[in-house]
Amino acid sequence: MQANVGDFLIIHGRVVGHGDRKGEIVEVRGAGGAPPYLVRFGDGHEQLMYPGPDSVVEPATPE
């Protein structure tokens, strides 16, 4: 998995009734875009994450 600052990390819900979570990658701490990523979610919460198989990176759209 590779990401850049500004991309979005989407974590798919694993339990019925729990939706996906989407956060913006604000820092990439691994070499060459590899995890861990510092992710900021919509509620302002920031978390250092090593994404699992239930996660995907959505590239930021160029403006």
Per-residue pLDDT of the chain (63 residues; tens, 9 = 90+): 899 999 999 999 888 888 899 999 999 999 999 999 999 999 999 999 999 999 999 999 865
**What pTM does this model have?**
0.86
For every residue of the chain, DSSP letters joined together read ----TT-EEEE---STT---EEEEEEEE-SGGGPSPEEEEETTS-EEEE---TTEEEEPPPP-
